[in-house]
Amino acid sequence: MTTTFKKIGVVGAGSMGSGMTMLFAEHDLEPLLPLRARTLHARVHTFKEYTPFLEFLGGKSTRKLFVFSIPHGTAADKVLADIDEYLAQGDVILDGGNEWYENARRRQEALQPRGVSYISMGVSGGYQAARRGPSISASGDKEALDAVMPLLQRFAAKDPKTGAPCVANLGPSSCGHYVKMAHNGIEQGILGIVNEAWELLYKCMHLPLDDIATMWNKWGNEGELRRHFLINIGAEICGRHHPDGPPSHVLNEVQDKVVQDADDSEGTGIWSVAEAAKRHVSAPTIAAAHFFRIASADRAQRMKVVENVGQDLGAARKQQVEDGFRGQFSEDLRLAVYCATLASFAQGLNLIARASEDEGWGVCLATCMGIWREGCIIRSEYIADVLQPALEQSGAITNVLTLRVVGEELRRTVPALRRVVALGIEWNAHIPALGASLEYLKYCAGKHLPSQFMEAELDYFGAHL
C-alpha cells in the first residue's frame, strides 16, 4: 500500500477538527470538511451533505482517507452508518477523537473483513496543537498505518531537541486510544497538582498573581519544571490582565467549578480511574484529582453542605510569611510539583503497561514518552529526559518506580513534597493530588505497610486465609 491519498475527508468541524483541517491544507492535502459550510482555507472544500462530500472524495471506486474528530460513542457510530455505503476496500479511517478503546476495537473488527482500516488515533494538545502539530498515539492495521505514517509524521509536533515527529504506531488493535486515555488521566493528575500549588501561593501566601506569573515563568524555563506545559500556561494565565478598563486579572473572574461536558457521562477521566481500579493499578494522584474536580463541579451541593456544617471547612488560612521563608517554600513547592508530576506519570504508565500485558499489545513505554515530548498537554522536558532513556535501556517493565534514575529523583525530591503537604494541612489548603502523590510514593516504596493489620481483620471476619 503506498501513500496515494491526495484528499482527506475530515468529519467534525469543532476546534480540533478545524485546526487539523487547516494543518492538512498546509501539508499538501486537499481537506474536505462535511456538514459545516465555513471558509477555512482556500484549499478546504466544505459540504453540507455527505453524498457530495463522499463523491468529491472519490466516490465508491477510489480509496479514501478520513479523519474523525467527533465525540466518542454513538456520534462515531452514526457517522460510520452515514458513510457506510461508500466505504470500500483500501479506505482508511483515522479516528482522532477521545474514543473508548473498546468502541474503537469493535469498529476495527467490524470493518476489517471489508478491507477498511480503522485506525485508533489519540490526538493530544488541544486546538492550538491541532493547528500547529499535535502528539499522536496511533494503532491498528500495520499496513494502513505504514501508508499514512509519512503524512502523520509531517503533520505531528516535532521534538524541539531532535526534530523527531511525536507520532508512533504503538501496536495492534485500539491501544492508541488506550494510551490517549492514560495520557488524559496523567493530565488530570497534573492539573490537580498545579491547581493546588497555585492555591498555596495565592490563597495562603497572598502572592500577587503577577508575582506567581514571574515565578512560574522561571520554573518553566529551567530545571525540573522546564517546558512543563501546564506550568508554562499557568504562568500566562496568572499574568493575564483585561485589555480594557481598570487593571484586573482575568483569572479572578473564573468560577471555582470544573464541569465536564453535559453529555460526557463517560470520558477519559472517568475511564482512567475505572480502568486503574479494574486492572489493579494504584493511581491515587489521578483519582484524587478527578474526584476533586467532580466535587468542585457541583457548587450548589457544596453550598448546602457548608450551610449544614455551619462553617466553610475548606477555607484556606492566610499566612504572614517572611521573605526568607517564602524563597525556601517556593523552592520546596517547585520540587513538590515535579515529584508529584512524576508520580502521576508513573501511575499512567503503569496503567498502560498493565493493559498492554493483559491485551497482548506490546506497547513500548519509551515510545509513549517520545511522542509526549511535544504537542501534548502533559509534555514536560525534564521528565521525558529522565524517563525515556531509562525506559529504552530497561526494556519492558511495568512500573517506572523501579527504574534506578527514578529512585534517585524520588530520594532527592520526596522530602520537599513531604514538607509542602505538611504545611498544606497546617494551612488548611486543598491538597488532594499532592497528598495522594505523597501517600502513593510512601506505600509503593514502603517496606512494612500497616496492611498487616487489615489482613488480620479480613482473616478474622472473612476467613481470608
Q: What residues are labeled active site?
A: 180, 187
Nearer to ligand 6PG, 125 or 348 (CB): 125
| Contact range with ligand 6PG by CB under 6 A, out of 120-128, 154-162, 351-359, 454-462 | 120-128
Distance CA 35, CA 54 (A): 12
Q: Which residues contact 175 (CB under 8 A, 6 or more apart)?
A: 101, 120, 139, 355, 356, 359, 361, 363
By the rule CB under 6 A, 184 interacts with ligand 6PG: yes
Tell which one of 260, 296, 394, 428 touches ligand 6PG (CB under 6 A).
260
Question: CB nearest ligand 6PG: which residue?
Answer: 124
Residue with cell 468542585: 296
CB atoms within 10 A of CB 224: 21
By the rule CB under 6 A, 137 interacts with ligand 6PG: no
CA R_g for the chain: 24
Nearer to ligand 6PG, 34 or 125 (CB): 125
Per-residue contact track with ligand 6PG, 200 to 239, x per CB under 6 A?
----------------------------------------
By the rule CB under 6 A, 269 interacts with ligand 6PG: yes
Dihedral angle, C-alpha 422, 426, 431, 437, nearest 10 °: 10
In degrees rounded to 5, what are phi and psi of residue 220?
Answer: -80, -5
Nearer to ligand 6PG, 147 or 363 (CB): 363
Dihedral angle, C-alpha 167, 27, 119, 4, nearest 10 °: -120
Minimum gap (Å) between residue 45 Cβ and ligand 6PG: 26
Minimum gap (Å) between residue 352 Cβ and ligand 6PG: 15
Minimum gap (Å) between residue 83 Cβ and ligand 6PG: 24
Q: Residue count at the site for ligand 6PG (CB under 6 A)? A: 12
The CA-CA-CA angle for residues 216, 370, 283, to 5°, reads: 70
Nearer to ligand 6PG, 51 or 260 (CB): 260
Nearer to ligand 6PG, 273 or 429 (CB): 273
Tell which one of 12, 267, 370, 435 touches ligand 6PG (CB under 6 A).
267
Identity of the amino acid at 447: K
Identity of the amino acid at 463: A
Is the torsion defined by CA of 295, 300, 305, 310 positive or negative? positive
For residue 360, give the C-alpha cell: 497482548
By the rule CB under 6 A, 124 interacts with ligand 6PG: yes
Distance CA 43, CA 39 (A): 10
CB atoms within 10 A of CB 296: 16
Which ranges of 48-100 does DSSP label H, i.e. alpha helix? 50-57, 74-83
Minimum gap (Å) between residue 165 Cβ and ligand 6PG: 17
With beta carbons less than 8 A apart as the criterion, state whether 416 and 381 touch.
no
| Contact range with ligand 6PG by CB under 6 A, out of 62-70, 123-131, 158-166, 222-230 | 123-131
In which element (H, E) is residue 176 found?
Answer: helix 175-199
Distance CA 343, CA 69 (A): 31
In which element (H, E) is residue 118 found?
Answer: strand 117-124
Minimum gap (Å) between residue 90 Cβ and ligand 6PG: 29
Distance CA 14, CA 356 (A): 31
| Contact range with ligand 6PG by CB under 6 A, out of 30-38, 118-126, 216-224, 321-329 | 118-126
Is the torsion defined by CA of 33, 115, 95, 65 positive or negative? negative
By the rule CB under 6 A, 374 interacts with ligand 6PG: no
Sites for ligand 6PG among residues 375-404 (CB under 6 A): 376-377
Minimum gap (Å) between residue 71 Cβ and ligand 6PG: 10
Nearer to ligand 6PG, 104 or 403 (CB): 104
Tell which one of 91, 187, 224, 275 touches ligand 6PG (CB under 6 A).
187
| Contact range with ligand 6PG by CB under 6 A, out of 61-69, 119-127, 157-165, 296-304 | 119-127
By the rule CB under 6 A, 125 interacts with ligand 6PG: yes
Residues in the site for ligand 6PG, rule: CB under 6 A?
Answer: 98, 124-126, 184, 187, 260, 267-269, 376-377
